[in-house]
Structure 1
Amino acid sequence: MVSEWQFEVPTAGSKRLPPDGRYMEALSSQGYGFEAAIADLVDNSIDAGSRNVLVHFLRDAEELVSLVIVDDGKGMNEDELDVAMTVGGRRGYGAGSLGMFGTGLKSASLSHADSVTVVSRTKRSRPVGRRWLMEHAKQGFECDIIDPTYAQDFVDFYQGRPIHFQGTIVRWDGVKDFPRHGGGGQTDRYLHRTVNRLGLHLGLHLHRFLAREDFHITVSVQDVRTGIEYANYGVEPLDPFGYPVPGDPTYPSAFTARLPTLGPLTLNAHIWPPQSSLDEYKAFGAVAEREGFYFYRNDRLVQAGGWNNYRQPEQHLALARVAVDLPDDPDARVFRLTVKKDGVQASPEFVGSLDSAEDPGGRAFTDYLANAERVYREARKRAGVARRPALPPGRGIDPQVRHVIEEELPVLTHDEPVHFRWHKLPNDKFFEIDQEAHLVLLNQHYRAALLGGRTGALNDAPVVKTLMYLLMQDAFQRERMGSRLKDNIELWQSVLVAAARAELDRMAD
Structure 2
Amino acid sequence: MADDWKFDVPTTGTKHLPPDARYMEALSSQGYGFEVAIADLVDNSIDAGAKDVVIHFLRDGDQLVSLLIIDDGEGMTDDGLDIAMTVGGQKHYNRQALGMFGTGLKSASLSHASAVTVVSKTKKTRPSGRRWLMERALSSFQCDIVDPHYAQTLIDRYYQCPITWQGTVIRWDGVKNFPQRGGSGQTDRYLHRTINKLGLHLGLYLHRFLAREDFNITIAVEDVSTGTEYMNFGVVPLDPFGYPVSGHPDYPRQFVADVPSVGQLGLDAHIWVPKSNLDEYRAVGSVIDRQGFYFYRHNRLVQAGGWNNFRQPEQHLSLARVAVDLPSGSEKVFRLTVKKEGVEMSPEVVSALEEAVDDQGRLFTQYLVDADTTYREARKRSGTVRKQVIPAGKGIDASVRETIEDELPILPGEDPISVRWTKLETDVFFEVDRDGRSINLNQHYRAAILGGRRGTLNDAQVVKSLMYLMLHQVFEKEYSGPREKDNLQLWQSVLVSAARAELERMTDDD
TM-score by length of 1: 0.97
| Whole-angstrom distance in 2 between the partners of 1:371 and 1:11 | 57
| Whole-angstrom distance in 1 between the partners of 2:243 and 2:460 | 34
| Whole-angstrom distance in 2 between the partners of 1:298 and 1:429 | 58
State whether residues 286 and 398 of structure 2, in contact with CA within 8 Å, keep that contact through their aligned partners in structure 1.
no
CA offset at residue 14 of structure 1?
2.6
Match of 1:472 in 2: 471
Number of residues paired by the alignment?
508
Match of 2:199 in 1: 199
Match of 1:443 in 2: 442
CA offset at residue 398 of structure 1?
1.8
Match of 2:81 in 1: 81
3-state SS of 1:437 partner: coil
Match of 1:329 in 2: 329
| Whole-angstrom distance in 2 between the partners of 1:458 and 1:322 | 34
3-state SS of 1:463 partner: helix
For residues 492-503 of structure 1, what are the structure 2 equivalents within 5 Å? 492-503=491-502
For residues 121-270 of structure 1, what are the structure 2 equivalents within 5 Å? 121-270=121-270
3-state SS of 1:374 partner: helix
Per-residue CA distance 1:404-444 (angstroms, 9 max, x = gap): 22222212241011112322111101111111111122111
| Whole-angstrom distance in 1 between the partners of 2:8 and 2:317 | 52
State whether residues 113 and 172 of structure 1, in contact with CA within 8 Å, keep that contact through their aligned partners in structure 2.
yes
State whether residues 84 and 91 of structure 1, in contact with CA within 8 Å, keep that contact through their aligned partners in structure 2.
no
| Whole-angstrom distance in 2 between the partners of 1:2 and 1:53 | 61
Match of 1:64 in 2: 64
Match of 2:24 in 1: 24
State whether residues 76 and 168 of structure 2, in contact with CA within 8 Å, keep that contact through their aligned partners in structure 1.
yes
- One-letter amino acid matched to 1:455: R
CA offset at residue 13 of structure 1?
2.9
3-state SS of 2:178 partner: coil
Range moving further from structure 2, 82-91 or 396-405: 396-405
3-state SS of 2:415 partner: coil
| Whole-angstrom distance in 2 between the partners of 1:413 and 1:175 | 45
CA offset at residue 8 of structure 1?
3.9
| Whole-angstrom distance in 1 between the partners of 2:29 and 2:218 | 28
TM-score by length of 2: 0.97
CA offset at residue 452 of structure 1?
1.7
Match of 1:294 in 2: 294
Is 2:111 the counterpart of 1:111? yes
Match of 2:52 in 1: 52
| Whole-angstrom distance in 2 between the partners of 1:4 and 1:90 | 43
Match of 2:486 in 1: 487
Range moving further from structure 2, 178-187 or 113-122: 178-187
3-state SS of 1:6 partner: coil
| Whole-angstrom distance in 2 between the partners of 1:215 and 1:14 | 48
- One-letter amino acid matched to 1:283: A
| Whole-angstrom distance in 2 between the partners of 1:397 and 1:76 | 48
Is 2:389 the counterpart of 1:371? no
Identity of matched residues, %: 65
CA offset at residue 132 of structure 1?
0.8
Query: Aligned Cα RMSD in Å?
Result: 1.3
Q: Which runs of 5+ in 1 are unaligned?
A: none
3-state SS of 1:472 partner: helix
- One-letter amino acid matched to 2:220: S
State whether residues 281 and 287 of structure 1, in contact with CA within 8 Å, keep that contact through their aligned partners in structure 2.
no
State whether residues 389 and 473 of structure 2, in contact with CA within 8 Å, keep that contact through their aligned partners in structure 1.
no
Match of 1:274 in 2: 274
| Whole-angstrom distance in 2 between the partners of 1:292 and 1:472 | 34
| Whole-angstrom distance in 1 between the partners of 2:134 and 2:27 | 11
After superposition, the Cα gap between the structure-2 partners of 1:313 and 1:8, relative to the gap in structure 1 and judged at 3 Å, is closer
Q: Which runs of 5+ in 2 are unaligned?
A: none
